Amino acid sequence: MKKISKHTFRSNTLPAMTTVGPVSLWLLFFVAIPLLYVLVMSFCSLDESYNVVFKFTAENYARLMDPNYIQIYTTSILVAFFTTVLCIIIGYPFSFLIARTKWKHKALLYMMVIIPFWTNSLIRIYGWRTFLGTGGWLNHMLLMLHITSEPVEFLFNKGTTVLGMVYCLFPFMVLPLYTAIEKLDSTLLEASSDLGAKGSVTFRKIILPLTMSGVFSGSIMVFIPCLGYFFVSDILGGGNSDVIGNLIERQFQSGNNWPLGAALSIILILITLLLVKIYQKLGGDMDSLGV
Amino acid sequence: MKKFIAILLASVMTAGILGCGDSGANPTKEQPYAGTTLNLYTWTEYIPDSVIEDFEKETGVKVNHSTFSSNEDMLAKIKSEDEGTFDIAQPSDYMVEQMATQGMLEEIDKSKLTNLSNIADNYLNPSYDPDNKYSIPYLGGVEAMAVNTSKITDSVTKYDDLFNPSYANQVVLLDDFRAVIGLTARSLGYSMSTSEEPELDEIKTKLLTLKSNVKLYDSDSPKSALIQGETSIGAMWAAEVALAMEENPDIDVVFPEEGAYLFMDNWVIPKGAKNIDAAMEFINYILDSENMAKILEEFPYMCPNTAAIALMGDEYAANLAKNPPEDVIANGEYIKNLDIDTLKVYDQMWTELKK
């Protein structure tokens, strides 16, 4: 009879500790504890010399209801909404193209979305500022082609903020869409056309429902960072249209009120959780969010 | 036994290396602090590396240089580190006052600063640190106005002109609530750090009228929008105006009649510093006119060191944006730290302006 090694651990502790342990520790120290710290901080108060002291107060949360803040939340949500819609409108056909192309250099198209991401987003946003400025390339070309007689002022409004957000977050829309469209079984499309469905019907009844998960996860991944990307509204919006991220940044910098900043961050986290919950309710797959 | 010998050898060798590091840097009469380490904590982009290297060569002191990008960051860092971590820090005016009242600074023995006479009287004995008990001025600035004279033909003389309704969407301001609220306060004749309620109400009402005028808030490079022609008037640090004037000759510098917002960064010695002697040597070294002139070549901020300005030549001295006139300093105002409740009011009006 062949001898089989029958080594077993006396308890599960050691194998569990060595395999899951490092990840759990990582999550504990770099996710759970910092988040808890933010939560605790949001209930703290400040003393006379702006030190955070552990004296319980709900005042930070009360201040969140300031009408000015509410208007900024609304602006943020609108900016995020338009950014997401634009990303879907541009991203869907684009992802469809790279997912279904017969061209052998498909990977190249895919890389074209990824490569710009290797450059710091601040630099790319400043690039837009140079490009769109009244002395920038775009105006230079418009003047040269006699399309306009005076330089057009593109910069420093909510429109350019949305443009910058779309540019920054576009890949987050394309990648989940690409995965969803790639998975689409082409025999279903053939069956649909065999049964006499026109292109638009196939799209509405087959393609869209089957790739909806990609649209959902892409939207979540665009919408949420959009609320926090304060540097885009600072650089391209000219600091005239704050988003929630600006409010948070200000409390940690010039406002010098960390507890209020923490409370604002908690609100941002709650909005995020709420959106993810809605996403789950709509049948979204948590795996495709990359979490 | 073999292992033991190996360890012994290794430790002897390490000791040898460490020993070498120490030798060759012993104090001498010319270099009394040679071999010591000076921990220097300054703003980013504020002192050329070459000047620090020259100091090291001349004195044999090794400089550990770290940087910060806001007064509040610096304060938090000094508080969180052990006492004695830094030998020199570089707070701005109001922060000197705050640190001094919190007992965080060593008094400065001015008798050791043989070059202190290079500093103009205007800059000594400032409101934030009477008699320079804790601080020695380094470089500073003034919030001046920049006007593109090819687009704006009115005579612009004061902060109040920025509120002129005919400049709708043409103004660039610093993305800094103290600077913007401050200039509004000055335009009404109030202090930039007022905490009086009726004054604050008035300031808020006037501040909100800026909304339609301001095209852009930018602290990083406010000059760009002026040079490119996106804005035609603005308020920013005079050093930025100086650079804008070099790029576009239509741009002019104006110092506000109401008295400008001034800032001054200073050398201080944090409480418990371990190497006060070398710190004093460093401060005195920077006060030297030639060394300061080297700094000015790279960072042309408002300089209290008149001997250094004399070395920079007539053109530099005559450039008002680089070398603001004396009465600007006399009429100007340094900001003060706000108490918590007042800061809340400032923060709220700023949020309302920027929403």
Short-list B298, B311, B334, B338, CA closest to B122: B334
Residue A28 placed within a domain: no
Q: Please answer yes or no on whether A135 and B228 come within 8 Å at the CB atom.
A: yes
pLDDT at B275: 94
pLDDT at B24: 46
The per-residue pLDDT for range B87-133, each reduced to its tens digit, is: 999 999 999 999 999 899 999 999 999 999 999 998 999 999 999 99
3-state secondary structure at position A133: coil
List of residues 6+ apart from B294 with CB closer than 8 A: B48, B50, B51
Is A60 near chain B, with CB under 8 Å? no
Under a CB-based contact definition with an 8 Å cutoff, are residues A221 and A214 in contact? no
State the first-to-last Cα distance of chain B, in angstroms, to the nearest integer. 75
3-state secondary structure at position A132: helix
Give how far the C-alpha of residue A170 lies from the chain's centroid of Cα atoms, to the nearest Å: 9
Short-list B212, B234, B235, CA closest to B143: B235
Residue A9 placed within a domain: no
Whole-number percent of chain A with pLDDT over 70: 95
Is residue B229 scored above 90 in pLDDT? Answer: no
Helices and strands in chain A: count of H runs, count of E runs: 15, 2
Q: For residue B168, which phi and psi values (nearest 5 degrees)?
A: -55, 130
Q: How many CB pairs under 8 A join A and B?
A: 71
Residue A262 placed within a domain: yes
Please report how many Cα atoms fall inside a 13 Å half-sphere around the Cα of residue B285, on the Cβ side. 17
Q: What is the mean pLDDT of chain A?
A: 87
Domain count for chain A? 1
A51, closest residue in chain B (CA to CA): B76
Tokens representing B123 are 């800059």
User: A65, A125, A131, A256: best mutation site toward chain B, by most B Cβ within 10 Å?
Assistant: A256
Tokens representing A99 are 């997912």
pLDDT average, residue stretch A58-79 = 92
Q: What is the mean pLDDT of chain B?
A: 90
Is residue A6 scored above 80 in pLDDT? Answer: no
Higher-scoring residue by pLDDT: B140, A113: B140
Range of A246's domain?
66-289
3-state secondary structure at position B142: strand
Higher-scoring residue by pLDDT: B50, A47: B50
Q: Where, residue-wise, is CATH 3.40.190.10 in chain B?
A: 2-138+264-322, 141-262+332-354
Q: Please answer yes or no on whether A238 and B177 come within 8 Å at the CB atom.
A: no
Is A250 near chain B, with CB under 8 Å? yes
Topology given in CATH for the domain delimited by B2-138+264-322:
D-Maltodextrin-Binding Protein; domain 2 (3.40.190)
Cα→Cα distances B208→A115, A158, A189, B331, B348, Å: 43, 19, 59, 26, 12
pLDDT at B337: 87
CATH number at residue A261: 1.10.3720.10
The per-residue pLDDT for range A228-287, each reduced to its tens digit, is: 899 999 999 888 878 999 999 989 888 888 999 999 999 999 988 998 888 888 876 676
Residue A50 placed within a domain: no
Is residue B153 scored above 70 in pLDDT? Answer: yes
pLDDT at B8: 53
pLDDT average, residue stretch B191-201 = 96
Residue A61 placed within a domain: no
pLDDT average, residue stretch A128-152 = 88
Is residue A2 scored above 60 in pLDDT? Answer: no
Is residue B50 scored above 90 in pLDDT? Answer: yes
Is residue A207 scored above 80 in pLDDT? Answer: yes
pLDDT average, residue stretch A183-189 = 86
pLDDT at B6: 57
CA gap B253, B256 in Å, rounded: 10
Tokens representing B240 are 């930025």
Give the dihedral sign, CA A266/A271/A274/A279: negative
Distance from CA of A155 to the nearest CA of B (A): 9
- Band of pLDDT at residue A91, cut at 50, 70 and 90: very high
Is residue B1 scored above 80 in pLDDT? Answer: no
Indicate the length of chain B as a whole number: 355
Higher-scoring residue by pLDDT: B190, A98: B190
Under a CB-based contact definition with an 8 Å cutoff, are residues B41 and B90 in contact? yes
- Band of pLDDT at residue B20, cut at 50, 70 and 90: very low
A253, closest residue in chain B (CA to CA): B72
User: A152, A250, A254, A260: best mutation site toward chain B, by most B Cβ within 10 Å?
Assistant: A254
Cα→Cα distances A105→A99, A184, A276, B157, Å: 11, 20, 35, 63
CA gap A271, B211 in Å, rounded: 29
Is residue A9 scored above 80 in pLDDT? Answer: no
List of residues 6+ apart from A9 with CB closer than 8 A: A15
The per-residue pLDDT for range B309-355, each reduced to its tens digit, is: 999 999 999 999 999 998 998 899 999 989 889 999 999 999 999 98
Q: Are strands B233-237 and B136-148 parallel, antiparallel or unpaired?
A: antiparallel
Q: Which residues pair with B64 in a beta bridge?
A: B39
B69, closest residue in chain A (CA to CA): A253
Query: Tokens 């012994």 appear where?
Result: B8
- Band of pLDDT at residue B18, cut at 50, 70 and 90: very low
To 5 degrees, how large is the angle CA A224–CA B351–CA B95? 110
Query: Tokens 């959009």 appear where?
Result: A226
- Band of pLDDT at residue A119, cut at 50, 70 and 90: confident
CA gap A224, A160 in Å, rounded: 19
Is A151 near chain B, with CB under 8 Å? yes
Spell out the CATH class of B141-262+332-354. Answer: alpha beta
Q: Please answer yes or no on whether A240 and B72 come within 8 Å at the CB atom.
A: no
Residue A178 placed within a domain: yes
- Band of pLDDT at residue B289, cut at 50, 70 and 90: very high
CA gap A207, A193 in Å, rounded: 12
B102, closest residue in chain A (CA to CA): A49
Cα→Cα distances B120→A113, B91, B115, B211, Å: 58, 20, 12, 39
3-state secondary structure at position B31: coil
pLDDT at B304: 95
CA gap B288, B54 in Å, rounded: 13
3-state secondary structure at position B257: coil
Complex prediction ipTM: 0.83
pLDDT average, residue stretch A205-211 = 87
User: B214, B226, B342, B347: best mutation site toward chain A, by most A Cβ within 10 Å?
Assistant: B347
Q: Which residues pair with B211 in a beta bridge?
A: none
Lowest mean pLDDT among A17-21, B104-108, B221-225, B274-278: A17-21
Q: Please answer yes or no on whether B72 and A256 come within 8 Å at the CB atom.
A: yes
CA gap B71, B93 in Å, rounded: 10
Element (H, E) at B40: strand B37-43
Short-list B229, B259, B235, B263, CA closest to B247: B229
CA gap A81, A84 in Å, rounded: 5
